[in-house]
Amino acid sequence: MSELLFGNCSLADVDASGALRFIADGLVHVRDDRIVFAGPRAQGQHLTQRLELLDMESMLVTPGLIDCHTHLIYAGDRLGDLLAQRDPDDPSRDRFESGGILATVNATNQASRASLATLARSRIDQMADHGVTTVEVKSGYGLSMEGERRLLEIARSLSGYRGIEVITSFLGAHALPTAYASRPADYIALLTKEVMPTLAAEGLIDMVDCFIDPEGFSASIVTPYLERASELGLPIRAHVDQFGAAGGGELALSFGARSIDHIEHLSSAALATARGSGTVAVLLPFAYLHKSLTSIPPIMGLRDNQVPMAVATDLNPGTSPTASLLLAAYLSVTLYGLRPVEAFAGITRRAAEALGLSDRGRLDPGCRADLVAWEVGHPYELVASVFDRRAHRLG
Ligand code: NIG
Ligand code: FE
């Protein structure tokens, strides 16, 4: 049995109602990697008599951060897409992939398993340095049985690296592979009848994701895919209505989605349906910034309808080349108008909810002790300014 007591620290997390819980002089008692007590020093005096105090030197202790939406495993670099727009004559342009998601699919399918894992580990290194302890990782750059299986297997193999747990999402319905050009229903049938059930039976899929958007799949085409996920008992989440309204929010909500992600063009009907559904809105403001989008998600409507909001990086080479969850949180405040407390909740408690994880993202007794400490005095310094914050992992 291992027992630890951290003190001389402040503590911060968010309660179920979304209010900040900040304790200026706190203690955290951990036993066997679970939180036993996290609260004011005054309420834990009995612990200080029994256990040696680990001095946190006035740092702020928070739950480990949770990046609940990433496309972490890929090869190549899509700076070519940006150069094509900004400087098409730049002679360096050929060094980079361009041509949207399919360009990354090609680069990824050509890369070896070992090189994909190495690239992914370097991205996880950055996340770990910035306080992430749980990351969701999508497939979606394979677009075939073998390609998708390989990405999900790599994702599974990465779980535990730097002490970060990986949760997988099967994103076969990300883009239409060239071999199925103009036959989206046939591709969805392949995913629905063969790829999804096979990879689910192999234990590779924690959740099922899809891209419902004018630039992705239509709601009607993707419906059988979501039906199959439901039949298989797999939780659903979806990229919806990012570049335009596609009825993605409505469809995902009709399947009881765990999360609806992006939602720059979510309809007001979907917003009303989301109320009380338990579905989390996952905001990805770095993608909004990188793609120079102009319509922000309906933040006021989400608040009015009490839809929980999570914030994630969307780490991917095309629309969101960043591993910085704190930067995403900052952008949710500056671009989307989130309150700092909402942004902090969005990368902790609400992100856990988006992944269906009830054992983390907060400092309650019984939760995993995947704690991180920061050299700041208050959590808003983490989400409302941009400095290169290094997190210290406890335990
Ligand atoms: O979440 N929207 C679709 N998928 C990704 C982009 C992936 C890519 O462009 O490679 C996203 O933004
Ligand atoms: Fe995404």
Range of the domain at 272: 65-355
- DSSP reduced 3-state for 220: helix
Q: Is 248 in the pocket of ligand 1 (CB under 6 A)?
A: no
pLDDT in tens, 239-277: 999 999 999 999 999 999 999 999 999 999 999 999 999
User: Quick one: 58 and 72 in the same domain?
Assistant: no
Q: How many domains does the chain have?
A: 2
Say which ligand is closest to the CA of 138. Answer: 2
User: Quick one: 57 and 69 in the same domain?
Assistant: no
Residue of 69, 72, 78, 101 best suited for mutating to test ligand 1, as the one with most atoms within 8 Å of CB: 101
User: Quick one: 38 and 171 in the same domain?
Assistant: no
User: Quick one: 345 and 386 in the same domain?
Assistant: no
User: Quick one: 371 and 283 in the same domain?
Assistant: no
Q: Is 239 in the pocket of ligand 1 (CB under 6 A)?
A: yes
CATH, residue 303: 3.20.20.140
- Nearest atom, ligand 1, residue 291 CA: 12
- Nearest atom, ligand 1, residue 101 CA: 10
User: Quick one: 192 and 336 in the same domain?
Assistant: yes
Q: State residue 183's pLDDT score.
A: 98
Rounded mean pLDDT, 9-26:
98
User: Quick one: 147 and 187 in the same domain?
Assistant: yes
The residue whose CA has the least distance to atom 6 of ligand 1 is: 319
Q: Please compute, for residue 267, the number of CA atoms within 13 A of its CA located in the half-sphere on the CB side.
A: 13
Say which ligand is closest to the CA of 74. Answer: 1
Residues whose beta carbons lie less than 5 angstroms from ion ligand 2: 314
Say which ligand is closest to the CA of 68. Answer: 2
pLDDT in tens, 22-61: 999 999 999 999 999 999 999 999 999 999 999 999 999 9
**Order of strands, sheet of 207-212, starting from the edge strand that comes earlier in the sequence:** 65-67, 132-138, 165-173, 207-212, 237-240, 259-262, 280-283, 309-311
pLDDT in tens, 86-135: 999 999 998 999 999 999 999 999 999 999 999 999 999 999 999 999 99
Mean model confidence pLDDT for the chain: 97
Rounded mean pLDDT, 340-361:
98
Burial 199-230 (b: 16+ CB within 10 A, else e): bbeeebbbbbbbbbbeebbbbebbbebbebbe
- Nearest atom, ligand 1, residue 262 CA: 1
Q: State residue 334's pLDDT score.
A: 98
Long-range contacts of residues 116-123, Cβ cutoff 8 Å, at least 24 apart: 116/73, 116/74, 116/75, 116/150, 116/151, 116/154, 117/73, 117/154, 117/157, 117/158, 119/73, 119/74, 119/75, 120/72, 120/73, 120/154, 120/155, 120/158, 121/158, 121/161, 123/72, 123/315, 123/323
**How far, in Å, CA of 329 to CA of 312, rounded?**
8
- Nearest atom, ligand 1, residue 104 CA: 10
On whether the CB atoms of residues 215 and 246 are closer than 8 A, the answer is no
pLDDT in tens, 131-146: 999 999 999 999 999 9
Structure token digits, residue 113: 């398993």
CATH, residue 387: 2.30.40.10
User: Quick one: 181 and 228 in the same domain?
Assistant: yes
Rounded mean pLDDT, 82-89:
93
Rounded mean pLDDT, 194-198:
99
Q: State residue 338's pLDDT score.
A: 98
Q: State residue 327's pLDDT score.
A: 98
Q: State residue 280's pLDDT score.
A: 98
User: Quick one: 234 and 244 in the same domain?
Assistant: yes
Distance 254 CA to ligand 2 centre (A): 21
pLDDT in tens, 204-232: 999 999 999 999 999 999 999 999 999 99
Q: State residue 37's pLDDT score.
A: 98
Is 395's pLDDT higher than 90?
no
pLDDT in tens, 306-323: 999 999 999 999 999 999
Q: State residue 163's pLDDT score.
A: 97
User: Quick one: 150 and 256 in the same domain?
Assistant: yes
pLDDT band at 197 (very low <50, low <70, confident <90, very high): very high
User: Quick one: 81 and 154 in the same domain?
Assistant: yes
Distance 334 CA to ligand 2 centre (A): 20
Q: Is 287 in the pocket of ligand 1 (CB under 6 A)?
A: yes
Distance 227 CA to ligand 2 centre (A): 21
Is 372's pLDDT higher than 90?
yes
What secondary structure does DSSP assign to 17-41, as a single string?
TS-EEEEEEEEEEEETTEEEEEEEG
User: Quick one: 133 and 35 in the same domain?
Assistant: no
